[in-house]
Structure 1
Amino acid sequence: MAPRANWKGFLRLSLVTCPVALYPATSESEKISFNQLNRATGHRIKYLKVDADTGDEVSNEDIVKGYELDKGQYIEVTKEELEEIALESTRTIEIDEFVDKSDIDPRYLIRPYYLRPDGKVGHDAFAVIRETIREMDKVAIGRVVLTNREHIIALEPMDKGLVGTLLRYPYEVRNEAEYFDEIQDVKVTKDMLDLARHIVEKKSGHFDPEKFEDHYETALIDLINQKRAGKPITPKERPRAGNVVDLMEALRLSVGEEAAPAKAAKPAKKPKKVSAGQKEMLMSITGKKLAKETAAKKPSAKPQRKSA
């Protein structure tokens, strides 16, 4: 079952309109997460909204938004006032223009969403818009209102649906000159480039996200399982930095390292036998993502027939 839609409304290209729903394309809920605990009692920490001066707890109905003009000086803005300036286009993604994907600076990309027809009507109009974008090999630029703010959204076809990526406004992107101006102008020799190019060619391939493992997530799962089993936690030795200080020597050593055959991996150790009484106590966690995938693969249990 798909997650609940973040937004529902209409997609419009000139006079062609269809009802659509917007869904988050990414999720971090599968990652290991922690709660904060009181070390003395082991109880969870609870956060309260309190007055910064009096220390008294404040109920939600007594909390208003405020813009800080100066330190300690605020202009209060009510919910009703914010509703008054709400944009009229809250329920329509209006396609304004079509651009080449290469025109969009990666710094402007925020997060992706899936866009699909909402309900049983409008599939024809949705298909026309989708296939037009696909045939023209363009990205459709529109506007969408989420959480009362208007965002730029870039739409492109994916399979039978559309992927909409929220874009930043220019004022949200920092000027690179503030960071790059102090970089020294260095002349790179042809020999250095040739060695570096050789390394790149050896490492060239096609991007496949399945090849990458979240090593920190794996280490977290391993840490929790070790603590659950009552095993001592020993810090791992950090890799030491090499002593190579000459850039050309570093490049040459890198080329040699790439050419060297990979060492054979050591066979995995056999797991120790666990008694029946320990089995439940030592049952490992797998992480939310792996647990979800495993559950999806398990066949549903068949009901047993009772004999007459």
Structure 2
Amino acid sequence: MAPRANWKGFLRLSLVTCPVALYPATSESEKISFNQLNRKTGHRIKYTKVDADTGEEVDSEDIVKGYKIDTDTFIEVSKEELENVALESTRTIEIDEFVDRSEIDPRYLIRPYYLRPDGKVGHDAFAVIRETIREMDKVAIGRVVLTNREHIIALEPLDKGLMGTLLRYPYEVRSADEYFDEIQDVKVTKDMLDLAKHIVNQKSGRFEPDKFEDQYEQALIDLINQKRAGKPITPKERPTGNVVDLMEALRRSVGGEAAPAKASKSAKKPKKASSGQREMLMPIEGKKQKDGAAKKPMPKPQRKSA
């Protein structure tokens, strides 16, 4: 079941307008998640909203937003007042300009969305806007209001639809100078560079997301299954940061001797991505399956719509 739209409104290029809906392009709902428990009772921890001075619990309808002026002074802003801040981008994504994709600094990218026509009308206008962006090989820049905030959004064609990527404002991006100023100016010799380039050539390939496995997620699943089965948990040996001769490390890397323990692991065929975390959490009971026998998947849980 497709998730609900995060936003519905209109996409406009000059006088060309069509109704559209914006959907999240990514999801983390399949990741392992934990609840907080009381160690003594095993019961879940609940959070309540209380008055900071009286300690009394406050009902949701009595909670308003407030902007802090100083320690004890706030300016209250009601929901109605926020809704009255009428921005055109609340209802319409107006395309302001077109830029080259290479001009967008990766630090400004936040998250991707899918944009498609909303309903049965406006598909012609949507196609005109989409194909114009595609033919011009540009990225369309507009603005959209999500969660009471106006965001810059970059639109580019993706199959039959559009992908919209939220962008940060300049004041949200920190300068790299304060982090990189103390990095030493190191002279890299030609021999070291040649060896490093050789390693890069050995490891060069195409980016195929399907061959990457979330090893930490798999380790969490293994941990949970071991605890369910009552097996002892043995801590793994942590890597050490031994100082080695850099040139020798590069030579051994080229010769395939840098990490012999990982060589066999990297040669393994990548696992297929699972459609849900609970399918990987196997039951404690049950006999071991024979080699070659097909594994019966656990029933996939129903997702609640957001």
Please say whether Structure 1 and Structure 2 have the same fold, judged by a TM-score greater than 0.5. Answer: yes
Measure, in 1, the Cα distance between the counterparts of 2:258 and 2:284: 47
Unmatched 5+ residue regions in structure 2? Answer: 269-281, 288-296, 301-306
1:127 corresponding residue in structure 2: 127
Measure, in 1, the Cα distance between the counterparts of 2:60 and 2:37: 25
**2:269 pairs with 1:250:** no
1:40 corresponding residue in structure 2: 40
Measure, in 2, the Cα distance between the counterparts of 1:283 and 1:78: 57
Q: Which amino acid aligns with 1:282?
A: E
| Displacement after TM superposition at 1:47 (Å) | 0.5
**2:96 pairs with 1:96:** yes
Q: Which amino acid aligns with 1:257?
A: G
Deviations 1:204-232 (A, max 9, x none): 11111111111111011111111111111
Percent of aligned pairs with the same residue? 82
1:206 corresponding residue in structure 2: 206
Runs (4+) of structure 1 exceeding 6 A deviation are 258-262
Tell whether the 8 Å contact from 2:109 to 2:165 is kept in structure 1 after alignment.
Answer: yes
| Displacement after TM superposition at 1:107 (Å) | 0.2
Measure, in 1, the Cα distance between the counterparts of 2:219 and 2:144: 39
Deviations 1:131-176 (A, max 9, x none): 1111111111111111221110001111111100000000000011
Unmatched 5+ residue regions in structure 1? Answer: 268-278, 285-292, 297-308
Q: 1:72 to 1:282 in 2, by over 3 A?
A: farther
**2:281 pairs with 1:282:** no
Mapping 1:289-300, distance limit 5 Å:
none
Tell whether the 8 Å contact from 1:199 to 1:258 is kept in structure 2 after alignment.
Answer: no
Measure, in 1, the Cα distance between the counterparts of 2:258 and 2:82: 63
Q: Which amino acid aligns with 1:153?
A: I
Deviations 1:107-137 (A, max 9, x none): 0000000001111111111111111111111
| Displacement after TM superposition at 1:295 (Å) | 5.6
2:233 corresponding residue in structure 1: 233
How many residues are matched? 276
Q: Which amino acid aligns with 2:38?
A: N
SS in 1 for 2:234: coil
Bigger Rg, structure 1 or 2: 1
Measure, in 1, the Cα distance between the counterparts of 2:252 and 2:71: 57
| Displacement after TM superposition at 1:192 (Å) | 1.4
TM-score normalised by length of structure 1: 0.83
| Displacement after TM superposition at 1:55 (Å) | 1.2
1:73 corresponding residue in structure 2: 73
TM-score normalised by length of structure 2: 0.83
**2:162 pairs with 1:159:** no
SS in 2 for 1:257: coil
Tell whether the 8 Å contact from 1:96 to 1:142 is kept in structure 2 after alignment.
Answer: yes
Q: 1:137 to 1:158 in 2, by over 3 A?
A: same
Measure, in 2, the Cα distance between the counterparts of 1:24 and 1:219: 27
Deviations 1:18-68 (A, max 9, x none): 111100000000001111111222211111001122211111122121122
SS in 2 for 1:40: coil
| Displacement after TM superposition at 1:90 (Å) | 1.1
